[in-house]
Amino acid sequence: MASLADASPAIPLGALDGRYRPVVAPLVDYLSEAALNRERVHVEVEWLIHLTDRHVVPGVRELTGAEKDGLRAVVADFGPDDVAELKQIERETVHDVKAVEYYLKKRLATILGAEADGIPELVHFCCTSEDVNNLSYALMVKGAVEQVWLPRAEALVEQVATMARDLRDVPLLAHTHGQPATPTTMGKEIAVLAHRLGRQLRQVRAAEFLGKLNGATGTFGAHVAAVPDADWPAISRSFVEGLGLTWNPLTTQIESHDWQAELYADVARFNRVLHNLCTDVWTYISMGYFAQVRGQGTVGSSTMPHKVNPIRFENAEANLEVGNALLDVLAATLVQSRLQRDLTDSSMQRNIGTAFGHSLLAIDNVSRGLAGLDAVPEAMAADLDANWEVLGEPIQSAMRALGAQGVPGMENPYERLKELTRGRRITADDLREFVRGLGLPAEVEKRFLELTPQTYVGLAPRLVDFLGAE
């Protein structure tokens, strides 16, 4: 049998780089190995510019504007050829960050020419690899969240909120424990999910992205030994904050990754609420409350022509579960490190892109699934009309209130309604006959004779209006 591993171009091992690649491709610019190397170059370039701009090392000149532009162009133009070149250098160094240092020094020789003046020696000056890596990962994750994941998630939540508003007045038989219960509206039920998702997004938007630059054990030891008169904490802080990150002053060799654990927990919680949306909508589809609109030519079942399967929601469930498994292990593992450091975080962080990829894929599937639904109010109305016993709740509640006010004949309301309704279906006529025999005040009796399961929705439509008011 021929080996598929020998195919050219390479056959993807995972689904994200195979059939799902078009959906997750935007994450490649932020969370791929190539993006990591580009951010490493970015951090090294900006550190060199930062050192020379502030005359940190006595006697070293500032870079000219043209030289800075040339260095920053190395980052802006970073592409496939640079990725290949770095791989080749790394084969010799067997060290990824050292490869970046040599790569940049090679570019710097061209940019500076005969005017080098010792400046190349400030590339990676006083840095441990983790100084570069932690800042690179923070920039990568920040970019992926703010530029890709959050916009897609926000668009989905707005789609859910719009659906809730559109269905705010459509009566729905609620189910608690799977049993017919107090009616609501479909809009209110969807609004609950939109509200929950929106709250989790606010947590994600508030995330901090921390970074450090303080040497091999977080002490600025090499920095002080090399240039004792510099204010190294201030230099470090201004550099990290200049990258758009939050400075962490107290670390071991590694930045502690607590911010990553916090962020991944928030994203995972969003995913779990979204999973709840998938299972609820799937159930509504199975009950006939939503019809799926299928494009011409698509196939629902390979053998049953009548079927349209809710595959978008099922696909989303699976991807949310895979993504959350990764997010959970990232959050649990990254906050642990033996003494000054071990390398488990290095291997772990290479899975960040996969975790966000599965979440992004789920968001895409849910969005497409919701766009293919049409509400079926008639099916919802039919279920309501078949369950008049749900009006036992408001009647016994009104009787309790009347009994508390001293109205005679209102004793044991719960038990009387239980005897009428439990374990059996009743009709509108059954209920109205019962109401007429209760001896209710005339205006209360009139109210309950006019009440139907379709109109017993409380304030459900109004509650939808709280969306966006948080």
Q: How far apart are CA 245 and CA 209, in angstroms?
A: 5
Rounded to whole angstroms, how far apart are CA atoms 252 and 337? 9
- The two structure tokens encoding residue 97: 């960050």
Catalytic one of 8, 177, 302, 306 = 177
CA distances from 35 to 82, 145, 255, 459 (A): 11, 14, 20, 51
C-alpha closest to that of 268 among 316, 319, 327 = 327
Q: CA–CA separation, 443 vs 450, rounded Å?
A: 11
Tell how many helices (H) and how many strands (E) occur in the chain.
21, 6
Kindly write down the DSSP assignment for every residue of 336-391, as one continuous string.
--STT--THHHHHHTTHHHHHHHHHHHHHHHHHHHHTEEE-HHHHHHHHHT-GGGG
Nearest in space to 282 (alpha carbons), one of 312, 319, 305? 312
Residues belonging to the chain:
470
Cα separation, 103 vs 97, whole angstroms = 10
Rounded to whole angstroms, the Cα distance separating 269 from 196 reads 10
**63 near 119, Cβ under 8 Å?**
yes
Active site residue 124: no
Spatial distance between the Cα atoms of 127 and 136, rounded to a whole number of angstroms: 13
Token pair belonging to 408? 């005679």
Active site residue 177: yes
Q: Which residue in the list 95, 175, 286, 301 is annotated as catalytic? A: 301
Between the two ends of the chain, the Cα-to-Cα distance in Å is: 61
Residue 330: name the closest of 271, 264, 267 by CA.
Answer: 264
Cβ–Cβ under 8 Å, residues 52 and 388: no
Taking the C-alpha atoms of residue 128 and residue 344, their distance in angstroms, rounded to an integer, is 17
Q: Alpha-carbon torsion 282, 286, 289, 293, what sign?
A: positive
Measured CA to CA, the distance from residue 259 to residue 207 in angstroms comes to: 8
Would you say the C-alpha torsion 246, 249, 254, 260 has a positive or negative sign?
A: negative
Q: Which residues are catalytic?
A: 177, 301
